[in-house]
Structure 1
Amino acid sequence: MLLRSKTYLLSLLLLSTQINAAPTEQRLWTASNGKTVNASITAIEGDKVVMKKDDGKTVKVPITIFIQEDQDFIHKHFEAEIAEASKPSGSDSQPATDLPHPQGEVVGPIEASNGAHYLLYLPKSLKQGRKAPLMFYTHSGGGNKNLLNTISEGAETCGWILAISVESKNKNDFQDNLKKCQSCLEHIYETLPVEKERTYFMGNSGGGAMAFANSAENKCTGAMPNVGYIPDGHDPKGKDYFIIGGGKDYNRYTSAHANKKLGKKAIHRMHPGGHGVSPKWLMIDGMIWLQTRYLAREQKDHMDEAADFEVSMLNWINELKAKEPYRAYATAKLLLSEYEPTSKNKAAIESISDELGKEKTNVLYYEALQDINDLSEDVLSGFGSGSKMKHSDPKVIKAVDKLLKKYTGVPIIEDTLKAIADKTV
C-alpha cells in the first residue's frame, strides 16, 4: 500500500499543481501519531491536501501524515477527477462522410486536365464540414503509392489530405512539370474539402526543387523540400519551410543556402544519410512542425481543429515516448514553445515535458536541433548553392568537433554530426 501511495503522489505531481473535486464529507481523520481532526478535504495541491476544519479554518497538510486507510480514502475520492483531468480534450466534431474516395488508403491515378494525374490519400481523421490542409508531393522519378503510404501516419496525425503528381519528374521539362502540378491542384480544389490557402508542397531532390517552385508560384502556407534547391526565377519567401537534408548529401550546402535565404520562417533538419528520400520519421516531424506553426498563428480561427490536433498530438507523443523519448520530448517542447495549448491539454503536455525532461539525453537532443540549424546557417550555407560531390572542409570539421563534445552519445544527433563532417556522397 505504501508503494501505491508514493506512485500515486508522483502521478499527481506530474499531472498538475492542483486537483479539485467535490469535497469529501466532514469526518474524523487520523494522523499516524494518533491525533485526530474533524474536517473535510477540498483539494489536493501537489503532495498536500487542503482541509477545511469544522471551525471554518482552512489548512494545508502533507497527505503522508495520515494513516494508510485515510490516504486510501483520499485517493479513491479524488481518483475519478484526476483521471478525467488527464484525458485530452478535443472538439465534438464528427468524422467526415460522403467523400468521393475511400479513406485510409492510397487511390488513383486520378485524372485531372491536360494529361495530368495524381494519387490521393484521404485520412480517416478528417472531420465533417471542416476543410483540411493539403500536402502536394513531387518526386524526382514521378509519383507512386509507396511514397504517399510513407507519410500517411503524418496525414492521420495532422488531419491532412495527401496527393502526389504522377507525371512530375526530373526528365521532363521544368515548366511542363509546373503545368501538370497546377492541373492536379485545380482538380483537387474543385472536388475535395481542401482549405486552398493551406496547401503545402514537398518533394525529393528535383522534386524538392519543384516543391520550392510550386510554393513560390501558388498561394500556400509552406513547404517541406528534401535535398532540394531553389530554382532560378522562383522566390519562395514569407512561408514556413521545413528543409530536410542528409548529412552526407551532395546537396547539403544547397539546402543550407536555401535555409539561410529564407530566414526565420525556415529550419534545416538533417539526418545521417545521403542523397535520397528522407527517413519517414523526419518527414512526419516536419508535418507536425508545419501544422504547429500555422495553428500557433491562426488558432483563434481554428479552435476546433486546434483542440483535435492537441488530442492527436498527446496520443502520438504518449505512444512515441516509450521507444523514442527524445523525439517525444522535442515534440512536447515544440508545442509549448511555439504554440499555446488549451489549458487542460497544456497541463498534460507540460506533465510529459517535465517527465521526459528529467532524462539528459532527451534535453540534449532537443537542444541539438537548434544547434544543427545554426551550423547550417553559419557554416554550411557559406559554400554556395551548388551540388558538391566528395566534398569536406576543415571549417565544417572544426564546427562539428565542437558540437560533438556536447552531443556524443545522443541518438541520431551524433551520427548526423559525423555525417556532416564526412565527405559528401
Structure 2
Amino acid sequence: MQFSHKEKHHPMKCLILLMIVSLPTLKSQPTEVRQWHASSGHETQARALSATATAVKLELPSGKTFELPLEKLIAADREFILKRFNVVLPKVGDPQRSTDALIQAEGQTWPPGKISGPVESAPGSHYYIYLPKSLRAGRKAPLLHFNGSGGGNPEQMQRYLAGCESFGWILVASVESKNNTTFVVNSRHAANNIAMLRATPLVDARRIYFTGQSGGGAMSWWNALELDGAGTLPSIGYIPFEIKVTKGHHFILHGATDYNRYLGGRAAAQFGKDAFYRMHPGGHNYPKEEYIIREGIGWLTGKYLAANSGNSSLAGERLDYEAAMIDWIRQLSEKDPGLAYHLGEFMVSTYRVSGKNATLLDGIVSKLRQSPGNVVYEEGVQAIHEFGVKEFGSFQYVGSMNGKNHEAHAKTALRLAEKYKGDPFVEETLREMALPAQK
C-alpha cells in the first residue's frame, strides 16, 4: 500500500522538527564575530551582544566590551542590528524611553497595579502596599511611606496612585499610625515596615520618602529624621520643633488658610532650593486639585535625578522619567496649559533635561510660553512659594497659629492677588492666604 505525502509520518523528520522548535531564536542572541563599518571609514572585528534604540554593545576578540552609538555605524550595519535584536524605534515626536523591561506579575508577592494587604511587618505592625505596573525589572524603586492621622488604608492611598504609577514609585500605608498614638510608637511601626521592604530587591534603600496628612504630615518629618529618609511630601502637617531634619528634598502642601501654614513656611525656608511650598485654596484639607500630589512625586523624582546627574546607573530611569513628564505635559497642554507650562519650566530650568528629550521638550515649552495666561500661572505659583517662605516662614512663635494674621502680610497677599488675577487658581490661593488661619 502506498501512503500519500500527507499521510506518511517519518520518525527522523519529526525528530528534526522537534530539534528546530527547541532551538533558541536567533533574535536577541549575540552575533558571531563580524566586521563592523563606522561612517567615518574605520572598521572593527567584534560580536554584538545586545542593542537598544541608540547603542550597541560590542565584544572584541580580546574579551573587552564597550558600547557604540548606532549613529556612528553605516546604515546597513544599523539596520542589521535593529533587526537582529528586534529593537523597535520610537515614533517621530515620541520621547526617548529606556528599553528596560517592565516587571512581570508572575512570581511577585504583590500583584502590580493593585493594593495588597494588610501585610504584617512585625508583631502589631502592618501595612498596605501598591506596586505600580510601571516598575522595571531589575531596577530598584523609590518607596513612599504614608502615615495617616487616623490610620492608613486603601482609600487614603488612592490620591497617590497616579503619581506612583507615572514615576514608578512603590506606595505603602501604615495601618497603625494615628494621631492618638505618640510619635515614637508611630515611628516604630514605620521602622518595622521600612525594614521589611528595604530587604526586598524591589526597593532602593537610599530613596525612602514619607508622606501623610495633618498629624501624618508631622510624622513625615519625624520619620525622615529617625529613619534616614530621602525627603518628604507632607500635607497640612507641621514640622515638630524638636525635629532637625538637615537633608533631602521636600514638597510641602498646605491649604491657604490652614493653621499649620506658618510651620510649612518655616520648613520650606529651612531647605531653600531643596523644598517647594505648594499652597492651594482651602484650609486644613488635602488639595481638591489632586494633580498637585502627582506633581509632588514628579518634583521629588526630578530633584533626586538632577542631584545625581553623574550617576550612569540611573540613565534608564532618567529616560523613563523624562518620557513620563513629557507625556503628562502633552496631555495637559489642551485642558490645563498653565500647569503644563509650570511642569515644563521645572524640567527645563531645574531638572535640566538633555539629549533628544531636551529638543522635544524645548519645542513644547516654547509654544506654551507664547500664551500670557500660562506665564501668569507659572509666575503666580512661584510667587505663592516665595510669599510662603518669606512671610509665613518668618513668624516667631511656638506651635500652630489658629485665627492669627498679620496686617502687613495680608496686604502683600492681596497685592499679589491683583497682580496675578488672570489665573483663577493663583488669585484664589493668594486671597485666601490674606485671611486668618483656621482649622
Q: TM-score, normalised by structure 1?
A: 0.78
Q: d(CA) in 1 for partners of 2:263 and 2:275?
A: 14
Q: SS state of the match for residue 151, structure 1?
A: helix
Q: d(CA) in 2 for partners of 1:100 and 1:401?
A: 53
- Contact kept, 8 Å, 1:123 with 1:159, in 2: the verdict is yes
Question: Paired residue for 2:96?
Answer: 89
CA drift of 1:240 comes to: 0.6
- Contact kept, 8 Å, 1:136 with 1:200, in 2: the verdict is yes
Q: SS state of the match for residue 133, structure 1?
A: strand
Question: Paired residue for 1:50?
Answer: none
CA drift of 1:262 comes to: 2.7
Question: Paired residue for 1:290?
Answer: 300
Q: Which runs of 4+ in 1 moved over 4 A?
A: none
- Contact kept, 8 Å, 1:249 with 1:275, in 2: the verdict is yes
Q: d(CA) in 1 for partners of 2:177 and 2:412?
A: 38
The AA in structure 1 aligned to 2:308 is E
The AA in structure 2 aligned to 1:370 is Q
Question: Paired residue for 1:330?
Answer: 342
Question: Paired residue for 1:347?
Answer: 359
Question: Paired residue for 2:419?
Answer: 406
CA drift of 1:423 comes to: 2.2
Question: Paired residue for 1:143?
Answer: 152
Q: d(CA) in 1 for partners of 2:249 and 2:109?
A: 30
CA drift of 1:114 comes to: 3.2
Q: d(CA) in 2 for partners of 1:254 and 1:339?
A: 27
Question: Paired residue for 2:16?
Answer: none
Percentage of identical aligned residues: 36
Q: Does 1:177 align with 2:189?
A: no
The AA in structure 2 aligned to 1:308 is D
- Contact kept, 8 Å, 1:253 with 1:385, in 2: the verdict is no
Q: d(CA) in 2 for partners of 1:397 and 1:144?
A: 38
Q: SS state of the match for residue 136, structure 2?
A: coil
Query: Unaligned 5+ residue runs, structure 2?
Result: 1-89
How do 1:299-310 and structure 2 match up within 5 A? 299-301=309-311, 302-310=314-322
CA drift of 1:197 comes to: 0.6
Q: d(CA) in 1 for partners of 2:274 and 2:310?
A: 21
CA drift of 1:194 comes to: 0.4
CA drift of 1:385 comes to: 5.0
Q: Does 1:416 align with 2:429?
A: yes
Q: Give deviations 1:184-225, integer Å, cap 9, x for gaps.
A: 111111235100111111111110110001111122321111
Q: TM-score, normalised by structure 2?
A: 0.76
Across the aligned residues of Structure 1 and Structure 2, the Cα RMSD in angstroms comes to 1.5
The AA in structure 2 aligned to 1:320 is L
Q: d(CA) in 2 for partners of 1:297 and 1:264?
A: 12
User: Of 264, 288, 298, which aligns to 1:255?
Assistant: 264
Q: SS state of the match for residue 109, structure 1?
A: strand
Question: Paired residue for 1:264?
Answer: 273
How do 1:182-197 and structure 2 match up within 5 A? 182-197=191-206
Q: d(CA) in 2 for partners of 1:315 and 1:127?
A: 18
The AA in structure 2 aligned to 1:195 is D
CA drift of 1:119 comes to: 0.7
Question: Paired residue for 2:232?
Answer: 223
Q: d(CA) in 2 for partners of 1:339 and 1:393?
A: 36
Q: SS state of the match for residue 296, structure 2?
A: helix
Alignment length (residue pairs): 343
Q: SS state of the match for residue 308, structure 2?
A: helix
The AA in structure 2 aligned to 1:295 is L
Question: Paired residue for 1:392?
Answer: 405
Q: d(CA) in 2 for partners of 1:237 and 1:362?
A: 35
Q: Does 1:320 align with 2:332?
A: yes
Question: Paired residue for 1:372?
Answer: 384
Q: Does 1:101 align with 2:110?
A: yes
Query: Unaligned 5+ residue runs, structure 1?
Result: 1-82
Cα 1:152–1:202 change in 2 (3 A) is same
CA drift of 1:419 comes to: 0.8
Q: d(CA) in 1 for partners of 2:353 and 2:437?
A: 41
